[in-house]
Amino acid sequence: MITESKIHEECGVFAVFSSEKTDVASTVYYGLFALQHRGQEGCGIAINDDGVISCYKDLGLVNDVFSHSVMDKLGHGNMAIGHVRYGTTGNNDRNNVQPIVVNHVKGRMALAHNGNLINSTELREALELKGSIFHTTSDTEVISYIITKERLTAPSIEEAVNKAMDSLEGAYSLVVMSPSKLIAARDPKGFRPLCYGRTEDGRYIIASETCALDAVGAKFVRDIEPGEIIVITRDGIQSIKEHCGKEKQSLCIFEYIYFARPDSFVDGRSVHAARVRAGELLAKTHPVEADVVIGVPDSGLDAAIGYAKASGIPYGIGFIKNKYIGRTFIAPGQKSREDRVKIKLNPIAEVVSGKRVVMVDDSIVRGTTSARIVRLIREAGATEVHVRSSAPPFIAPCYYGVDIDSKDKLIACNHPMDEIREIIGADTLGYLNFDDVEKIAEGSHCGGFCVACFNEVYPTRPPKGTKNKFEQPIPEEIKNKVKKGEE
């Protein structure tokens, strides 16, 4: 979406394995570019050249971080991993950008992950009490420590990952690179997507979404199963399924509603088709007499097409989105948020002026974005604005990688439906019915979905403590001890 009041994406992981030394950095670059929608805070690439792992990462978008000079310095290798980040655990700090590279007596390792652990605080505290020193505040470093600890006794890196999964709770899709192996792992509940493919010249590709496979010319092979570990070496590919089938699957339904790119397939289901289906269901449960249906770019467009198709109301392109301004756009000076919206998004008056408009958006989280966009449509001449959300109301925080950590700012938790309609300035308001939410994923081979943000029924225990515990200010008691030389 387009302003600060919307939820933010997950992260994206990408990896490549080649039997020959080649320009794997460029392959990862294009893969990350295709996954840029999943995270815009920072990005990184780690290259493996005959066991020597080099890494470059920084805050910013892929195109900004990886200049020609940086790409030249990364050089060639036979495998590489990459990451685009939106942090839900750990501040927006360069130290928290991934991949994480570990130098250890058992060998070097690079790791990147998408998701959020619910027991990272407990694991970190236990490790610190045994002498571990952390350099970041992200749960990715916790995962790297657990794998490294298991590597002390495990006969191989893949067995270390396998044993580490016994300790990790929550959402994680991992790519791990050792001197000679590329490993991918997906948590047993399958919260986050992960797939792999192969190029015509035999390179293996691992990615969060199939759109990234397309970007590098790889043919989709299959999704990595929840709980599965795959190991890629020069001898081929191996699958470890010890953790498969042990837990009920809980793919985040919001991958279909908002996170994934519409040209991706997630666990066998077209994202575009899922969003069109959501729009069709909205039209049946929340019909209205209107002249045109428009979608809010980008993830509301497909649902708008579905609404128009099912309702018989013509579909129109209602907004132009400034493609040259990314999600990290910062207005100079004390500009209002309304000005930022106008710079990023502008209604097409010819389409909405004098019309009764159905405006379809992917979700309504805090309500401020919807209010600003409705105001823009009215200013462009719309006589009526009927808002439809292709997601049910958000009533609960997410613990698995989405930046909704409390109910405080969720509009559906603090206002009844009529008040929400008034706050956003709509003539009518309709959400996707909760009973319909899993229907949009019909055709997926996933065995179940996480819809906790809509019904507060979580597939795991809740986490202990706050997710940013290790970023809190130092307590005054400790500060005083430091001053006295007691700490």
Whose tokens are 């791990």? That residue is: 176
Provide the total of helices (H) and of strands (E) in the chain, helices listed first. Answer: 17, 23
Residues pairing with 197 in the sheet: 205, 220
**Torsion 61-263-280-294 (CA) sign:** positive
Distant-in-sequence, close-in-space partners of 163: CB < 8 Å, separation ≥ 6: 150, 154
Rounded to whole angstroms, the Cα distance separating 410 from 420 reads 11
Please identify which residue in the block is written with the tokens 């998004």.
345
Phi/psi at 320 (nearest 5 deg)? -110, 125
Residue 179, C-beta contacts closer than 8 angstroms, at least 6 positions apart: 48, 50, 51, 53, 107, 108
Beta carbons of 429 and 220 less than 8 angstroms apart: no
CA distances from 293 to 279, 361, 372, 385, 469 (A): 11, 11, 18, 10, 45
Give the count of alpha carbons within 13 A of 414, CB side only.
11
Q: Tell me the C-alpha distance between 360 and 353, whole Å.
A: 17
Asked if residues 138 and 111 have their Cβ atoms less than 8 Å apart, the reply is no
Nearest to 364 by CA among 293, 449, 432, 307: 432
Tell me the two tokens of residue 466: 């706050």
Q: Residues near 95 by Cβ (< 8 Å), separated by ≥ 6?
A: 135, 136, 137
**Dihedral angle at the C-alpha atoms of 363, 344, 309, 451, nearest 10 degrees?**
-20
Q: Is 285 exposed, middle or buried (0-12, 13-18, 19+ CB in 10 A)?
A: middle
Inter-residue contact 412 to 359 (CB < 8 Å):
no
Tokens representing 251 are 């793919």
166: Cβ contacts below 8 Å, ≥ 6 apart:
none
* Chain centroid, CA 341 distance in Å: 23
Q: Could you confirm whether 195 is annotated as catalytic?
A: no
Give SS3 for 61. coil
Question: How far, in Å, CA of 58 to CA of 458, rounded?
Answer: 34
Catalytic residue among 11, 55, 195, 453: 11
Catalytic residues: 11
